């Protein structure tokens, strides 16, 4: 690193830390944000084993989305399509799992999400990158919508 740049970096870093130390904790901008954002999402009241299972399913969903993006980037649309159908689509097992939840709105959103993943799988098969990204975006909007509405 060149000397002036190094000096600037040190100034910036020490400046930032000095600022953080000066502020009483509850006056820190981040803490203030945390105070105003209360978690008002609907709770599903899940029991511990169900919680763990749900989170591990979710991590698999995230993995699937990442694999789909990776395959799109490499032009491997057929592989991406298979992941969408098999890992995110409305397979009989997925349907069974979704239907175990007591909250009807959650079930509805979950099923709509898996259906959109099957549509994504169909679009991916066409090999059209723009349409595929739009379909992926539509599916991911379900992730966002559900996370904004429900918690465990």
Q: Which x/- pattern, by CB under 6 A, does the window 17-56 give for ligand HEC?
A: --------------------------------------x-
Out of 50, 67, 97, 106, the residue judged to bind ligand HEC by CB under 6 A: 106
Query: What is the rounded CA–CA span in Å between residue 94 and residue 81?
Result: 17
- Within 10 angstroms of residue 43's Cβ, the number of other Cβ atoms is 10
Give the list of residues 6+ apart from residue 60 with CB closer than 8 angstroms, or none: 87
Structure token digits, residue 44: 């599903």
Does position 77 bind ligand HEC by CB under 6 A? no
Q: How far apart are CA 50 and CA 46, in angstroms?
A: 6
Q: CB of 27: closest distance to ligand HEC in angstroms?
A: 28
**Quick one: 77 or 117, whose CB is closer to ligand HEC?**
117
Radius of gyration of the chain (CA): 22
Task: Determine which residue in the list 53, 131, 134, 147 makes contact with ligand HEC, applying CB under 6 A.
Answer: 147
Q: Determine if 62 is a binding residue for ligand HEC (CB under 6 A).
A: yes
- Identify which of residues 21 and 39 has a Cβ nearer to ligand HEC in the complex: 39
- The CB-of-141 to ligand HEC minimum distance in angstroms stands at 9
Q: How far apart are CA 40 and CA 38, in angstroms?
A: 6
Instruction: Report if residue 151 touches ligand HEC, rule: CB under 6 A.
Output: yes
């Amino acid at each position: 690193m060149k000397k002036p740049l190094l000096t600037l970096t040190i100034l910036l870093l020490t400046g930032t830390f000095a600022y953080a130390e000066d502020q009483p904790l509850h006056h820190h901008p981040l803490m203030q944000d945390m105070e105003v954002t209360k978690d008002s999402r609907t709770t599903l009241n899940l029991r511990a084993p169900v919680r763990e299972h749900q989170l591990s399913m979710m991590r698999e969903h995230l993995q699937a989305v990442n694999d789909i993006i990776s395959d799109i980037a490499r032009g491997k649309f057929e592989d991406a399509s298979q992941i969408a159908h098999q890992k995110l689509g409305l397979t009989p097992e997925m349907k069974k799992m979704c239907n175990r939840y007591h909250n009807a709105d959650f079930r509805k959103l979950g099923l709509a999400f898996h259906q959109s993943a099957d549509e994504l799988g169909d679009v991916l098969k066409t090999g059209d990158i723009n349409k595929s990204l739009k379909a992926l975006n539509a599916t991911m909007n379900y992730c966002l919508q559900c996370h904004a509405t429900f918690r465990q």
